[in-house]
Amino acid sequence: MTPTPTPPSIDALLDIMARLRDRERGCPWDVEQTFETIAPYTIEEAYEVADAIDRRDHADLRDELGDLLLQVVFHARMAEEAGHFAFGDVVASICDKMVRRHPHVFADARVESAAAQTANWEALKADERAAKGEADASALAGVSRGLPEWQRALKLQKKAARVGFDWPDVGPVFDKLHEEIDEVRAEFAAGADPARLTDEIGDVLFVCVNLARHAQVDVSQALRHANAKFERRFRRMEALAAEAGSGLAQQSLAEQDALWDRAKAEESR
């Protein structure tokens, strides 16, 4: 019987990263990177993890989680080189945080529901901010400005809702959405001032996030589905135009609309 090979440990990945960052014998690209240049890749890898989950592609999810882990190792390696902290400190920090924020698991506290745990989690985070000397006592404190804006909107709305500032059901959200769309229409009618349109369209998007929250729909997932649907149908339009012996750009808008309707009809079948 052939023994099952032992999978590499995290130490192997840390060693690979150290060799890649070696100033004399490492990879030139890896050596010249900084926290700022790597940050966009970190965000991209997190979204690719979400995409693999959305597609239920577990083999791809395995690979994408590896890519995301590499980002953590990359940042930790750069921090170690600068004398800030090492990978082990990152692990120790998150272990300490998870134990501290789950006293109902690791200590004698009790929580009755997931909702109660969420409230307790926020209270513990507020205590941690206070212990660090952060003076912001607002119910909105702790929402990172580094998040995508739609995600910041969602977190701000959830925090406001925890202190009762929320609509009781989805009806008023629809009313607010119609109100904001009417205000955008009015701005166009008044001459479409860019600053005013930015403000009013921002209000529409904020309410759309609120609508998704009340519907318990994941905003990012909904938009990914919409993007995928648009891309799928548009590519089918291109294929249909090619079958007819012309490019999509040579079609009139009415002809393109007809192709779009045909692509939609094919999906419904």
- 112 within domain boundaries: no
- 202 within domain boundaries: no
Phi, psi dihedrals of residue 173, rounded to the nearest 5°: -65, -40
- 144 within domain boundaries: no
Say whether 104 sits in a helix, a strand or coil: helix
pLDDT in tens, 5-45: 777 889 999 999 999 999 999 999 999 999 999 999 999 99
On the CB side of 237, how many CA atoms lie within 13 Å of its CA?
Answer: 21
pTM, two decimal places:
0.66
Provide mean pLDDT across the span 224-250.
92
Which of 164, 155, 165, 163 lies closest to 213 in space, CA to CA?
155
The reported pLDDT for the residue numbered 179 is 97
Q: Provide the token pair at 16.
A: 């690979």
Q: Are 87 and 76 in contact (CB under 8 A)?
A: yes
CA dist., res. 37 & res. 16, Å (int): 20
CA dist., res. 59 & res. 111, Å (int): 36
Is 46 or 1 the better-scoring residue by pLDDT?
46
Provide mean pLDDT across the span 206-213.
96
The reported pLDDT for the residue numbered 166 is 94
Q: How confident is the model at residue 95 (pLDDT cuts 50, 70, 90)?
A: very high
Domain that holds residue 248: 221-268
pLDDT in tens, 56-75: 999 999 999 999 999 999 99
CA dist., res. 15 & res. 70, Å (int): 12
The last residue of one of the domains, among 52, 79, 100, is 100
- 140 within domain boundaries: no
Has residue 156 got a pLDDT over 80? yes
- 257 within domain boundaries: yes
Token pair 């700022």 is found at: 36
CA dist., res. 67 & res. 49, Å (int): 9
Q: How big is the chain by its Cα radius of gyration, in Å? A: 25
Has residue 264 got a pLDDT over 90? yes
How many domains in the chain?
A: 2
Angle, alpha carbons 36-38-40 (nearest 5°):
85
The last residue of one of the domains, among 72, 100, 128, is 100
- 46 within domain boundaries: yes
- 156 within domain boundaries: no
CATH of the domain at 84: 1.10.287.1080
Q: How confident is the model at residue 90 (pLDDT cuts 50, 70, 90)?
A: very high
The reported pLDDT for the residue numbered 217 is 94
CB atoms within 10 A of CB 200: 19
The reported pLDDT for the residue numbered 3 is 64
The reported pLDDT for the residue numbered 2 is 65
Q: Are 32 and 78 in contact (CB under 8 A)?
A: no
Least confident segment among 114-128, 143-157, 199-213? 114-128
DSSP string across 150-219: HHHHHHHHHHHHHTT-S-SSSHHHHHHHHHHHHHHHHHHHTT--HHHHHHHHHHHHHHHHHHHHHTT--H
The reported pLDDT for the residue numbered 103 is 87
pLDDT in tens, 112-143: 777 777 777 777 777 777 777 777 778 888 88
The last residue of one of the domains, among 55, 70, 100, is 100
- 242 within domain boundaries: yes
